Structures are given as C-alpha cells and as structure tokens.
Structure 1
C-alpha cells in the first residue's frame, strides 16, 4: 500500500495534507484545523484513497468538512464526512455528482477543458495506491450538504472562528475562509502560485476580477491555498494584481 498523503504542521492546530502522487493539475492541499470544541477539514482531496482508512485520527471528533468549491480534487473524500458544508451555488453540482475521472482525456472532456496544443496525461496519478486498484472504478458519489454557508457566515470551532468570504470567479460558489485572530486565509482555488483557471464552463472572469480586487486589499498574515505553497500578504497582493493586469492585457489584445 502506497503512503498516499503527506502531512505537515502549518501552524498551531493546523495540519496541511496533500497527495504527492497526483498530477500537478489535481494535486491539491486540504487543511485539518483543530478547535477546542470540534475540528474542521477544509476540502477533502481527490478521494482515491479513503481518508478514514488513511487518516483515522481526523475523524475522532466528528469534524465538519467545508468545501471551497465543487471540483473533484477538492471534494473527492467529502462523502466520508457526516457534516458537509459549502456555498449554496455549489450544492446542485454536488447533488448531481461532480464530474470525475483519473484518465486525462476523459477528464478534460468532462470538465470542458480545451487542451489544444498541450500534452494530456494518460493517467492523473503516477502510481496505483495498491496493486489491485482499478483507476476506472474512480468516481465521486453524489452528496448532499448539511449546511449552506454564504459570505459573512462564521464557523466557530471553540477558540477558533473562521469567516466565510464568497469570492466567485473560478466557480460561482468559490469561498475562502479567514481566521481573523491569526490573519490566516484559506483560499481554495481562488488564488495560489501558478496559472489561475478562469475559463471553465462555469467560470466568470468579471466576477474573478472583483474577487481579486477584494483580495489585493485584504489584510492577512498568511495564505494557505488550495494548490502549492503558502505565502504572505505581500505575495497575495502581487498575485491578485498580476491577475488584474493579465486580464486587461488579454482584453486589449
């Protein structure tokens, strides 16, 4: 059995988890936060390996899973949780079943990604989690949400409170979570180091620009993104402003 997840301390009571054997496009971070009263897991990875089997301690306090948006690399393990939350705009897709495949060409087709001129991976993982695993069996089951969270809502874990920020653009219901006491922002796929995706069928560039304008002025200490490394407020502003410049240049060309 392959050790599928990596774990690392990301601050007091915060654990970063990732899946190193997943293709870069889908290799996402998810975050396990411990409060005094209960735990919160922000996003749930690709779901190739069952979280309850791989990380049983995560479930000891019946955590809530809060999904930043409804893409397979962030919701794959969400069905394992008994308390699931997301923005209302993502609920319909989660209920219908999030498009998913471990085969590159099939996945790109399901997501509406135009890969013209770009190499498409045959398989989105570089090793099987166990010798008997069949990639064709991978799917994300339809799931209902137990809580709908919108802009300004609070999630209180006891000694740790997070505020929901609705920042659409990547998807209609993309959210980030801000822990104001520590200045920590969990940004999902709204912003991270790398090429930001705003051309999926349900993306909205105008909304994304408004979200970036908000983030450029947001006072935070650290950003824990959905992909890649964490960064500080200076880098947050640089990334947001780079997106805003890029979009202006694209529209002029």
Structure 2
C-alpha cells in the first residue's frame, strides 16, 4: 500500500534549543498528527515528554544520542503523543488515559476520522514519506505501554537540579496532564494548549472541564510554553489563546 510515497532519509528531526532541551519532530507526518516531543537533559536522569507516532523506533536513537534512556511522560493517550511508548521501560501517565489499552489509531485518513468522530475529510494517508522500503501505513496500530506508573495532580518529576510539577488539566482528554517547571516558568503543555484551534470534541473531550483547566492554567506564572504541536510561545500569547477559548465557551 502507498508504495509511491518516498523513503525519508531521516525520520526524526532533533533540534537543540538550549543546554538541556531538545525538540524532536517527525517532519514527514501531515500537520494533524505532526506532534512535538521534548527531551530534557537532567543531572540524575533525563525526561521525554511525549514520543510521537511510533512509525519507527525512537528509544534507540535517544539512547545513542544522550547515552541513557529517559523517563517518558505521556501527556495523553492520543496516537501522535504515545505511539512509541511501548519502547520505553519507564512510562508515566494519568490513570484516566488508556496507555495500557490504547485506541488502535490509524495513518489512513478516513479510518482515523471515523475513530475520532471528525466530520472534515482527511487525506488518504497521513504521511508524506515512509521510514523505509516496504513500510505499509495501513498496518499501523498503536501498541500498549507496559509497566506504566500513574501520575496525578501535584506529583513531581525530579531530574536532579530541576523538578517539574504534574498538573491534571482535563478537557482535551480525560487524563490530560502538563508538566510545569516552577523554577524557570517553563510549561510542557501537551494538547492542553497550543497555538491553534483547541479541540474539545474528540472522544473523551469536555468543553466545561477544558474551560476550568484553562482558567487554572492562566493563574500560573508561566513564562514559556512548549506545546504538543507547533511553535513555543510566551506568556502574552498563552493568555490570548486561553481568553479566546473562554470567550467562545462562555458565549
């Protein structure tokens, strides 16, 4: 299937943003599913926030690049954020997210649209290239993550010199979480907030919960948001996005 798609010379793109933060992207994925993963270098251990689609292996690349496997935190169990979770030995997620029994997902647009309840048509295939010869996008399925440990509101992820706080902010999905570094004001937001139309009508979404979560998020001293999709942004843009959503929900 889809043998006409070119083979990508390199599937992942890694961009070092500062001495401890690396952005991991899959540039050959179409925009709907093109998500960010964030690797944080720590003194005692590394952290990976989300892990992409799982089209091809990510964990071996990170072990080679950074010399050790990170703790993976999955912000929520949608396919573009947990696809590679089965590769990692340490996986944290909220108990309400189905990381151990995920929705199968699909790289075929019509199949995924039916799973997600989307009315708008999607492209036939949600990739613009394949990772290797013989890869069949139609055979893609999200695999369950084993040995997941629960992360709930107020938990902490300690990397040594930095500790991030887990916040449970449902609305996009029942168990959506973010990670907030109170030391420098950096927020790793998953799909709770990003610079685009916020989705609250996917299976498990809840506009009223979402509004409550965003009001809570607005009260935090966030300096920089590292979202699950698109570019990072500062405090003013964060407030603008939140206020825009709240205005629509409250009418």
Both structures adopt the same fold (TM-score exceeding 0.5): yes
Correspondence for 1:111: 116
Correspondence for 1:83: 90
Correspondence for 2:100: 95
Correspondence for 1:25: 32
Matched, 1:169 2:174: no
Candidates 6, 16, 20, aligned match of 2:23: 16
Separation in 1, partners of 2:19, 2:75: 21
Kindly report the root-mean-square deviation, in angstroms, between the aligned alpha carbons of the 2 structures.
1.4
Correspondence for 2:197: 195
Q: What are the Cα deviations for residues 94-124 of structure 1, in whole angstroms up to 9, with x where unaligned?
A: 2223331110000111122222xxx321000
Separation in 2, partners of 1:139, 1:58: 27
Q: CA deviation at 1:53?
A: 4.4
Separation in 2, partners of 1:82, 1:20: 26
Separation in 1, partners of 2:9, 2:141: 20
Counterpart mapping for 1:209-220 below 5 A: 209-220=211-222
Counterpart mapping for 1:124-203 below 5 A: 124-203=126-205
Separation in 1, partners of 2:65, 2:153: 27
Separation in 2, partners of 1:28, 1:100: 15
TM norm structure 2 = 0.93
Separation in 2, partners of 1:45, 1:230: 17
Matched, 1:38 2:45: yes
Q: What are the Cα deviations for residues 163-209 of structure 1, in whole angstroms up to 9, with x where unaligned?
A: 00110000010000001111100000000001110001210111000
Correspondence for 2:234: 232
Q: CA deviation at 1:234?
A: 0.9
How many residues are treated as equivalent by the alignment?
Answer: 244
Separation in 1, partners of 2:139, 2:62: 22
Q: After the TM superposition, which of the residue ranges 60-69 and 23-32 deviates more from structure 2?
A: 60-69
8 Å Cα contact 2:62/2:68 also seen in 1: no
8 Å Cα contact 1:165/1:177 also seen in 2: yes
Correspondence for 1:5: 12
Correspondence for 1:60: 67
Separation in 2, partners of 1:159, 1:40: 13
8 Å Cα contact 1:52/1:58 also seen in 2: no
Correspondence for 2:5: none
Q: CA deviation at 1:59?
A: 6.6
